[in-house]
């Protein structure tokens, strides 16, 4: 027999029923007085006075008569009824207990009395815990630990039943706390764009580094919306990059100045005069370039100055002729 009844502290009625369950059918022939005496003697020897207590002897004889009447122990029916419960049947342990007492009470009417309920409730709660632990053990990874934590099971029970240590339990609790914090952050992000369209909400979450799975799980948005928003964002980023590249090219061209053919003759002469003054001071290329740039001389002319003095003189003559 399943030992459901041994998992809680035994009250007197449970002690009696346990002894009745241990005896064979032959002990309950006739009036059952032999069974009464045998059980009383066993209980007396354990230190609990039964034989000299009228009330307890009446309770014992009543239990034995019920055993004879039904033909099987009350404890068997209780155990069978509790073991038949599935986890979903014990969502409300008190309601499950009332169901057990009602079912068993159809055969043992006295069992419907309220005196039995605390012990039966304890049995049902133990059954529920056993089922929860069994479910936790069937789950992969840390899911079992998370499940028992979510069910409010005490730390010591989780550690003992799943064979883990304190550090592992603390690690899972820390992970859960981080997930809850992230959930609250996401909820606040959604509150900030509560009046926006779904696309705008999803974009807001992506911009704030919310993972796709959290957008689905917490935000309640479909993968198709996320994919569409990301595609639109990619196009937007491409356009922004194109504009940025154009602006960078414009600034670079502006900094480098016009090409040689676009420099007016009089301006060319001024530039070359400045370059010659610089070359009189230094011929180190890096220094020449730096001083020319500080004087806002076009890059194309600087390149000529440091690489081809002959061409620089030629440009100067052309500019003089054109002036």
Distance CA(176)–CA(110), nearest Å, equals 48
Look at residue 240 in the predicted model and tell me its pLDDT.
84
Look at residue 7 in the predicted model and tell me its pLDDT.
36
Look at residue 2 in the predicted model and tell me its pLDDT.
45
Q: For the residues 3-19, what does the mean pLDDT come to?
A: 70
Distance CA(148)–CA(162), nearest Å, equals 10
Bin 92: left if φ > 0, else alpha if -120 < ψ < 50, else beta: beta
58-72, 237-251, 259-273 — most confident range: 58-72
Helix (H) or strand (E) holding 236: helix 223-256
pLDDT band at 8 (very low <50, low <70, confident <90, very high): very low
Residue 178 has pLDDT above 70, yes or no: yes
Q: Which of 112, 83, 119 is nearest to 2 (CA)?
A: 83
Look at residue 10 in the predicted model and tell me its pLDDT.
65
Residue 62 has pLDDT above 90, yes or no: yes
Distance CA(178)–CA(186), nearest Å, equals 12
Q: What is the pTM of this model?
A: 0.65
Model confidence pLDDT, tens digit, residues 90-118:
999 999 999 999 999 999 999 999 999 99
Model confidence pLDDT, tens digit, residues 263-279:
889 988 998 999 999 99
Look at residue 1 in the predicted model and tell me its pLDDT.
40
Q: Which of 254, 184, 255, 199 is nearest to 231 (CA)?
A: 199
Residue 123 has pLDDT above 60, yes or no: yes
Q: Which of 48, 120, 36 is nearest to 82 (CA)?
A: 120
Tell me if 306 sits within 8 A of 288, measured CB to CB: yes
Q: What percent of the chain has pLDDT over 90?
A: 64
For residue 99 the two structure tokens come to 């169901």
C-alpha to C-alpha distances, 210 to 82, 90, 195, 196, 286, nearest whole angstrom: 46, 38, 19, 17, 49
Residue 49 has pLDDT above 70, yes or no: yes
Strand, helix or coil for residue 140: coil
Lowest mean pLDDT among 168-172, 246-250, 283-287: 246-250
Residues 6+ apart with CB under 8 A from 82: 4, 100, 120, 123, 124, 127
Look at residue 57 in the predicted model and tell me its pLDDT.
94
Between 184 and 263, residue with greater pLDDT: 184
């Amino acid at each position: 027999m399943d030992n459901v009844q041994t998992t809680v502290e035994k009250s007197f009625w449970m002690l009696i029923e346990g002894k009745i369950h241990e005896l064979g059918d032959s002990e309950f022939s006739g009036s059952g007085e032999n069974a009464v005496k045998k059980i009383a003697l066993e209980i007396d020897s354990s230190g609990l006075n039964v034989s000299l207590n009228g009330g307890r002897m009446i309770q014992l004889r009543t239990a034995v008569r019920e055993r004879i009447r039904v033909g099987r122990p009350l404890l068997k029916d209780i155990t069978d009824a509790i073991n038949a419960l599935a986890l979903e049947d014990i969502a409300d342990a008190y309601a499950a207990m009332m169901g057990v007492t009602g079912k068993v009470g159809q055969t043992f009417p006295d069992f419907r009395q309220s005196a039995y309920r605390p012990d039966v409730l304890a049995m049902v709660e133990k059954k529920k815990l056993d089922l929860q632990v069994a479910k936790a053990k069937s789950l992969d990874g840390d899911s079992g630990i998370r499940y028992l934590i979510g069910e409010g099971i005490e730390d010591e029970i989780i550690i003992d039943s799943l064979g883990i240590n304190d550090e592992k339990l603390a690690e899972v609790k820390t992970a859960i706390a981080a997930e809850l914090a992230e959930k609250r952050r996401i909820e606040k992000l959604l509150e900030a764009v509560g009046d926006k369209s779904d696309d705008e909400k999803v974009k807001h979450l992506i911009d704030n580094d919310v993972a796709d799975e959290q957008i689905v799980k917490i935000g309640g948005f479909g993968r198709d919306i996320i994919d569409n928003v990301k595609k639109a964002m990619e196009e937007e980023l491409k356009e922004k990059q194109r504009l940025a590249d154009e602006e960078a090219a414009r600034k670079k061209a502006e900094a480098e100045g016009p090409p040689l053919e676009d420099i007016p003759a009089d301006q060319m002469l001024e530039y070359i005069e400045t370059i010659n003054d610089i070359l009189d001071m230094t011929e180190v290329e890096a220094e020449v370039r730096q001083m020319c740039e500080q004087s806002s001389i076009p890059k194309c002319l600087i390149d000529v100055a440091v690489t081809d003095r002959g061409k620089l003189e030629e440009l100067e003559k052309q500019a003089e002729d054109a002036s």
